Amino acid sequence: MKFNLFAEKTPPLIGIDISSSAVKMVELGSNGRGGYKLESYSMASLPKEAIVDGNIGDLEKMVDAMKLAWKLLGSREKRAALALPASSVISKKVLMSADLREEDMEVQVEAEANQYIPFSLDEVNIDFQVIGPAPNNPEEVEVLIAAARKEKIEDRVAAAEGAGLKVTVMDVENYATEAAYSLVASQLPNSGREQTVMIIDIGASFMHVNVLHDNKSVYMREQAFGGGQLTQEIQRRFGLSVEESEIAKRKGGLPESYESEVLQPFVQQLTTEVARALQFFTSSTQYNRVDNIVLAGGCAAIPSIDVMVQERTQVHTIIANPFHGMTLNSKLKKQQADIDAPAMLIACGLAMRGLAL
């Protein structure tokens, strides 16, 4: 089974993001005017043991969550696009002669892959994409090669198929983030052109940092910090289960002491982590400043988090809303969609793979 990590546009797809705490799905359509329509989106919580270190730990529980998310989505579409975490994918940019035919490129890609992949080639799926002309030589092209172990791909496919879905695209989370960022860029000065933009997607366990300069990715990193720490503190302080804590975190209803004793210390820690990520980037790369910070993930829904990050870092900060400017299906509520949007960045980027707009 060959998986295209960079498949061309295909018929409509459900974008499925499997994070460590939830399965998130997004279905997009065309609004008929060259833009996107948000048909539906959903989220189903995952028990702790379902994902372990980015891998599926309990297939049965994962299938149950997939079924629930698909039921909540209310879609008839069964084709899906999934993504692997960047940590499961080895990617490398190489230069090749611009006049190579696709078949010759494939041979060269395998030869290149052989040198830097620490597994036997029958254990991996490899794909490549020509990015464009090489910066300093018009006779060469830059080619991005991505390789992932087959078992990592097969686990995710088995979970989707167990829920009755058909996986037609397997992407990489970082590339899906970048695709969705193209929807967010319009909310930045000059649409992010000629600027350095740091996207910080705060998951349950990790903070994923992806920096784009002039809308091209130049840096990626992960920091061990996430919204799961807030959930654990709510559990500990108020004696709730993980599920109850997650719901209370999103929908409210916690005792008055929550704001000052639990949320504020967490937010301070979060702004410190963002400041660290910023300092690490500027001190370890040729870029000495960041023009904009874009916050994504469930924690981006914390009220005024953008204001607090901006105060701490002195960098213009916005909340990622990939649904911004989309036509909404009449059954969706705009206010709720705006709150949920930052957590749907990857799922939205995956759903975009199914529409040639």
Written in H, E and C, the secondary structure of 194-246 is CCEEEEEEECCCCEEEEEEECCEEEEEEEECCCCHHHHHHHHHHHCCCHHHHH
Residue 141 forms part of a structural domain: yes
Residues 6+ apart with CB under 8 A from 15: 25, 26, 27, 28, 80, 81, 176, 346, 347, 348, 349, 350, 351, 352, 353, 354
pTM over 0.85: yes
User: What string of pLDDT tens digits covers the 357 residues of the chain?
Assistant: 445 555 555 568 999 999 988 999 999 998 888 889 999 999 998 888 888 877 888 999 999 999 999 999 999 999 999 999 888 888 888 899 988 888 888 888 888 888 878 888 888 888 888 888 888 888 999 888 888 989 889 999 999 999 999 999 999 998 899 999 999 999 999 999 999 999 999 998 899 999 999 988 899 999 999 999 999 999 999 999 887 888 888 778 899 999 999 999 999 999 999 999 999 999 999 999 999 999 999 999 999 999 999 999 999 999 999 999 899 999 999 999 999 999 999 999 999 988 766
- CATH number where 105 lies: 3.30.1490.300
**CB crowding 208-224: b at 16 or more within 10 Å, else e:** bbbbbbebeeebeebbe
Retrieve residue 255's tokens.
């005792």
Nearest to 267 by CA among 225, 208, 330: 225
In a domain, 228, yes or no: no
Q: What was the pLDDT predicted at 7?
A: 52
* Domain count across the chain: 1
The pLDDT, as a whole number, for residue 81 is 95
What pLDDT is stored for residue 1 in this prediction?
A: 42
Give how far Cα 183 sits from Cα of 5, 130, 209, 227, 242, Å: 21, 23, 18, 24, 32
- Rounded to whole angstroms, how far apart are CA atoms 171 and 183? 18
Alpha-carbon torsion (204, 267, 274, 348), positive or negative = positive
Asked if 84 and 148 touch (Cβ cutoff 8 Å), the reply is yes
In a domain, 112, yes or no: yes
Is 19 contained in some domain?
no
Residue 194 lies in a domain: no
Rg (CA), the chain: 20
Q: Is residue 95 part of a domain?
A: yes
For the four alpha carbons of 41, 47, 52 and 55, in that order, the dihedral sign comes to negative
In-domain check, residue 347: no
Cα 8 from Cα 238, distance rounded (Å): 49
The answer to whether residue 142 is domain-embedded is yes
Answer yes or no: are the C-beta atoms of 222 and 209 closer than 8 Å.
Answer: yes
How is residue 296 written in tokens?
Answer: 């994504």
What is the C-alpha to C-alpha distance for residues 180 and 350, in angstroms, rounded to an integer?
A: 8
Largest Cα–Cα distance in the chain?
67
What does the alpha-carbon distance between residue 162 and residue 34 come to, in Å, rounded to a whole number? 35
Domain of 132 in residue numbering reads as: 88-150
| Residue corresponding to tokens 């005792």 | 255
